[in-house]
Structure 1
């Protein structure tokens, strides 16, 4: 081994220094407002220059986002009313991980199988994680685990929550990809899943 391999990369040290210079110190934290699905939390923070202030953000559990493919390669999609934007939104199954799911890959797969079955009535032969993202980390601590589900068949019973208005359809994958490109698909979770699948698997 070359002696140079034993030396730390100066760039790594610079990155660590930059992170330390930019980091905020959390002095206190409390929930200002709680509702089903998420809380609004306020942290009292100290900035790098020593000033202090409050910072509000959405505090929510990790979630799974499922890209379900049938044996023919079609995508199982959902059309769901989204009150925040006032319209029906095309997307893919997604939902919050529960404490009993556990963590790591096994927990992600359990949550993905549950959300797929409950929202669409489909079950998959196999699951594979595509990526994990923080979609809105300027205002929320949300973590989304994107999962590919293959061999999906309509063999389960749907179990929608009382506040879910969802219809289910299947579309050719290429049509869904085209909707990403021409802005026809607006759901950010679905867009992320399709693009990762396109990059990694196609």
Structure 2
């Protein structure tokens, strides 16, 4: 297996912007395939995001919020998109404090992954926060409404089974927590 340029690379012939929004932009690319044929690719462009795994004693911090694409409430770890020019580490600090009212002494990078590389370029950076202390009230965006929750490991597992936790970053966080409980290490 090689991580260098592949014989299967698609060459962009043209790009047509479709939509430019607050969070994402959409474009349609015409590409030349390795066999010489052409195809259309619909792409979502995203500035990237961060998510934070944070434990207070033996409970993890989660947020419970309505997710319009799912038309229901969803329990997730604190997360948010990167502001223009913002470093992921600073975004993780900001999102943790805004969504939970907690600050941390340190953040450690666990991993970064692409959320849906078949159609989007969003990269998600996951951090573990340590040395947490409550510093104040939530500082939510004007269109953001959520509750902050502190859950046990067993609560989180139950919410996965009930599909109240059903997004990849939060499921990843709960399984990373399980590994941490067994080994004392986050990765």
Contact 1:130/1:193 (8 A) holds in 2: no
| Cα offset, 1:36, TM superposition | 1.2
Q: What's the CA shift string for 1:106-135, capped at 9, x where partnerless? A: x22211010011111111121111111112
Aligned position for 1:113: 93
* 1:177/1:150 CA distance change after superposition, 3 Å: farther
Q: Which runs of 5+ in 1 are unaligned?
A: 1-10, 102-106
Aligned position for 1:143: 123
Q: Distance in 2 between matches of 1:195 and 1:136?
A: 20
Q: Which runs of 5+ in 2 are unaligned?
A: none
RMSD: 2.1
Aligned position for 2:82: 97
Output the TM-score relative to the length of structure 1: 0.81
Match of 2:59 among 74, 77, 94: 74
Q: Distance in 1 between matches of 2:19 and 2:85?
A: 25
| Cα offset, 1:27, TM superposition | 1.6
Q: What's the CA shift string for 1:19-65, capped at 9, x where partnerless? A: 52211111222321111100111111101111112211111011101
Output the TM-score relative to the length of structure 2: 0.87
The structure with the largest helix share of the pair is: 1
Contact 2:74/2:164 (8 A) holds in 1: no
1:153-172 superposed matches below 5 A: 153-172=133-152
Q: Distance in 2 between matches of 1:121 and 1:50?
A: 54
1:21-40 superposed matches below 5 A: 21-40=7-26
| Cα offset, 1:182, TM superposition | 6.5
Contact 1:130/1:147 (8 A) holds in 2: yes
Count the aligned residue pairs: 182
| Cα offset, 1:173, TM superposition | 3.0
Bigger radius of gyration, 1 or 2? 1
